[in-house]
Amino acid sequence: MAYEQPGRDGTVEPSSGVPAAVLENVFDDPAHGEPGRDRVGVHIGWEVVLLLGAAAVAWLLWREDPDVLRDAALRSLLVDVVALGLLALAAGLSLRTAAPNLAIGPVAVAAGLHFAEQSDRGVVAAVLPAAIVAAVGGLLLGLVVVVLHVPGWAASLGAAAAVIVYIERRSAPVLVQGEFDPRRHAVYLAAGFAAVAVLGGLFGAIRAIRRLVGRFRPVADPALRRGGVAGVVTAGALVGSMALAMLAGVLLAANGTGPVAPTTGLDWTALAVGVALLAGTSAYGRRGGVLGTLLAVALVSAFLAYAQARDWTVSRWAVGAVALAVGLFVTRLVERYGRPGTATATTEPAEPAGDGAISTGWAMPRPRPMDDWPALSTPSTESPVDPWHTPRWQAEPRRWDDDER
247-304: pLDDT as tens digits: 999 999 999 888 999 999 999 999 999 999 999 999 998 888 899 999 999 999 999 9
CA dist., res. 133 & res. 337, Å (int): 41
Contacts 24+ apart (CB under 8 A), 147-153: 147/231, 149/223, 149/225, 151/99, 151/222, 152/94, 152/97, 152/98, 152/99, 152/100, 152/101, 152/234, 152/238, 153/99, 153/100, 153/102
The pLDDT of residue 342: 53
Positive or negative torsion for Cα 297, 299, 303, 309: positive
The pLDDT of residue 347: 43
Asked if 277 and 324 touch (Cβ cutoff 8 Å), the reply is yes
pTM over 0.85: no
In order, the DSSP letters of 7-47 are TSSSPPPPTT---HHHHHHHBSSSSS--BB----HHHHHHH
CA 118 to chain centre: 37
CA dist., res. 336 & res. 397, Å (int): 95
The pLDDT of residue 394: 52
The pLDDT of residue 374: 52
Count of other CB atoms within 10 angstroms of residue 237: 26
CA 23 to chain centre: 19
CA dist., res. 67 & res. 63, Å (int): 10
The pLDDT of residue 46: 94
CA-CA distances (angstroms) from residue 73 to 7, 33, 68, 222, 253?
Answer: 68, 49, 5, 48, 17
The pLDDT of residue 371: 52
The pLDDT of residue 391: 53
Rg (CA), the chain: 35
CA dist., res. 2 & res. 386, Å (int): 63
The pLDDT of residue 38: 72
| CA distance from start to end of the chain | 84
The pLDDT of residue 37: 65
The pLDDT of residue 301: 96
In sequence order, the β-bridge partners of residue 260 are: 174
Q: Please state the three-class secondary structure of 254-270 as a single string.
A: HHCCCCECCCCCHHHHH
DSSP state of 260: B
pLDDT under 70 in the chain at which residues?
1-37, 341-405
Task: Give, in degrees to the nearest 5, the angle at Cα 95 between 92 and 101.
Answer: 90
Count of other CB atoms within 10 angstroms of residue 361: 13
CA 353 to chain centre: 36
Asked if 319 and 303 touch (Cβ cutoff 8 Å), the reply is yes
Single-letter code of the amino acid located at 69:
L
Q: At what angle do helices 266-278 and 316-337 cross, to 10 degrees?
A: 30
The pLDDT of residue 368: 58
